[in-house]
Amino acid sequence: MASRSADPRTGTGSPSAVDAVSLAIIEQLQEDGRRPYAAIGKAVGLSEAAVRQRVQKLLDQGVMQIVAVTDPLTVGFRRQAMVGINVEGDLDPVAEALSAMAECEYVVMTAGSFDLMVEIVCEDDDHLLETIGKRIRTLPGVRSTESFVYLKLKKQTYMWGTR
């Protein structure tokens, strides 16, 4: 049985390690999320069926996702911001409410100047103002917010998964 440790993202138990073959499969999929299982199998020394099973297990365990990553500007979302939030009392209800908002792409509990950091993606400045002013700031427990509006996206990558 694999040893279990706390998952820093969820606070729940999760397998403490992914084996070298699964890491190699992840690397193959990070290079091309549509790469055929037969090609991945050839690269990592497994059959197509074994790769298919491994990928499904990694997906089921929440180790990875296979998604299309877009540049928000090219699909109609012209304003992004990181919002630092200070909360009075329990963070969990505020974090849950933020996680339920479609505009919130990233919600993390932090140590430091803010209790929560939230990345929001909006259609325009009016949408950003409404999201922060009328939806985030009005949540019970939210004491204050500070917004960091993105002016230009210089790097967005998800290749860190196996290094």
For the chain, what is the total number of helices (H) and then of strands (E)? 5, 6
pTM, rounded to two decimals: 0.72
Q: State residue 160's pLDDT score.
A: 65
Task: Note down pLDDT in tens along the chain; length 163 residues.
Answer: 333 333 444 444 444 478 999 999 999 998 899 999 999 999 999 999 999 999 999 999 999 999 887 777 788 888 999 999 999 999 999 999 999 999 999 999 999 999 999 999 999 999 999 999 999 999 999 999 999 999 888 887 776 666 6
Q: State residue 162's pLDDT score.
A: 63
Q: State residue 8's pLDDT score.
A: 42
Place of tokens 């790769």: 51
Q: Quick one: which H or E segment has residue 49?
A: helix 48-60
Spatial separation of the C-alpha atoms in residues 14 and 8, rounded to whole Å: 9
Question: What's the CA angle centered on 17, arms 12 and 19, to 5 degrees?
Answer: 145
Largest Cα–Cα separation, the chain:
55
Beta pairing class for 104-109 and 142-149: unpaired
